[in-house]
Structure 1
Amino acid sequence: MGKQKCIACSQKFESDRETLLCDECYEKYKQHIQLSKQAGVCPVCGGNVQFTEFYAKTYYAGEKLCSDKCRRIERLVKYRMRREEYLKGEDKHDS
């Protein structure tokens, strides 16, 4: 694919697939998302999330994100996690 610019850390990195996150940021945010289930805290960056009645269930589950950038990072990380799971399952079927 060539050189890409990471949307999280702004570093240039070589990528053989279409992604906007470098491997270091992917691993870091993957761990944040998997471990963070604290109410009122963004699972990506750890920032405060405003409580609203409309988002009450996601607020209490720690799934509400604080900004568009965090939403984009979360979508990219979850997409890559699903893709890795799919490819891992496909490898098992080939064996």
Structure 2
Amino acid sequence: MTHATVLHDDFCFSNIIIADPQTMGLGLRKISQRKVKRANEYSHIDWLKLYKKYCDNTVAINIDKDQRQLELRRLFKLPLSKLVFKLKNRSPF
């Protein structure tokens, strides 16, 4: 990593907080609520992990069952999505 990248990451993770609506105490209309988070979305716990890595390594992180399920879905869904994308967009030559 370059010095500029480290500074950028440090700035982002110390000044921007990614939080789920429930974490913020934001009430959503029923139509806007999801039962599960999409595999390509950051959760508040994902942000906490990055904050711990770049800003404060003493932060305690409690990984709940929803986060574990999200991480498990990512293990399977993201590589499959990448493969499907490559197959759909491959050159015919």
TM norm. shorter chain > 0.5: no
Query: Which structure dedicates a bigger proportion of its chain to helix?
Result: 2
Bin the TM-score by the shorter chain.
0.3 to 0.5
TM-score (norm 1): 0.37
Relative contact order (C-alpha < 8 Å, sep 6+): which is higher?
A: 2
Query: Which structure dedicates a bigger proportion of its chain to strand?
Result: 1
TM-score (norm 2): 0.37
Question: Which structure has the larger Rg?
Answer: 2
